[in-house]
Amino acid sequence: MGSHRRLAPSGFDRGACVALGVLSAAAAALGPVPASAAPHDDVRAEVDKLYEQAEKATEAYDKADERADALREQVSTAQDRVAREQERINRMREALGALAGAQYRSGGLDPSLALLFSDDPEDYLDKASVLDRIGAREAGELRRLRSAMRELAQERAEVSGKLAELDKTRKAVVGHKRTVEKKLARARRLLNSLPYAERVAYQRASRGGRTGVLGPGGAVPSSARAAVAVAAARSALGRPYVWGANGPAGFDCSGLMQWSYAQAGVALPRTSQAQRHAGRLIPLSQARPGDLVTYRSDASHVAMYVGNGQVIHAPHPGAPVRYDPVDMMPVSSVTRV
């Protein structure tokens, strides 16, 4: 995205970047394009709309992918707990088995200890008469065994539930990816339907903005970590937009913010909607370098304020990480991390 007259940002694949890059090179060889070669308004409007829809789908993809990563960690942790709980139960059974063996050798096995050979001692223990036939030590051990078995059953149920949710989330990731790819394919077909000169004009418009160094504009970062994040974002200038990527070779909009703040030791959420709530909301008039600026009512795009009325962001395919005016689109919120 360049300004409010440029394309809305969105998520795109590497193929789009390569294709649009070729157009840019060809445009440079041809020289100036006549003003009459501007893209048809209806085609450009449709492409802009597809880019915006693709970016929203990219945010959904990032969110689902982040959730899948978290679930994988939770499943692994829960499975470890199940294994440890099973080991504890096995040790308890062995101890009770040793007690039963000692009783047998000293004169016979107490009938109540026969429940050691069952996987479910709960029904047996629930009968008050049982407690009259076993000693206090055996009763205590059996109660502990029953409690451990309940905990194990609960842990196994939790693992089962998380595995089901993980499977559902994986399918959502695939679905969002397909949505993005369809939107981008449709946008490419529309662009390819234009005459060559109009495609060049469109490419020039979409690659507006600057990748050079800007002056500080009198603003200073709000903190040391914000200064590090701004420096990191500036170091990414010129790198390509790659949907679903969070660096360092390529970025989508929220991926650039996450990576930049990671260089300062700050862990931001993966999506622009979540990043919007990663700090304190402030008015745009108080923005300082390092603050996150989200756009549109659904916060589906995010950029980093760098002072001088400018932001750094990853706009869309074919438009590398660059500077643009902070008011390039309607601002949703400004967040100080």
Catalytic residues: 253, 301, 313
Instruction: Dig out the tokens for 145 from the structure.
Output: 């065994």
CA dihedral of residues 23, 29, 35, 38 (deg, nearest 10): -10
Residues 6+ positions from 53 with CB-CB distance below 8 Å: 10, 183
| Structure tokens, 285 | 């008039």
Cβ(311)–Cβ(304) under 8 Å?
yes
Q: Say how far apart CA 77 and CA 162 lie, in whole Å.
A: 11
By CB atoms closer than 10 A (0-12, 13-18, 19+), residue 2 is buried
C-alpha to C-alpha distance for 267 and 320, rounded to whole angstroms = 24
| CA–CA gap between residue 79 and residue 174 (Å, rounded) | 25
Phi, psi dihedrals of residue 302, rounded to the nearest 5°: -140, 145
83 contact partners, CB below 8 Å, separation of at least 6: none
- Cβ atoms of residues 54 and 187 within 8 Å: yes
Q: What whole-number distance in Å separates Cα of residue 10 and Cα of residue 146?
A: 56
Contact 316, 21 (CB under 8 A): no
- DSSP classification of residue 222: S
Residues whose CB falls within 8 Å of the CB of residue 264, separated by 6 or more in sequence, listed in order: 224, 225, 226, 228, 229, 232
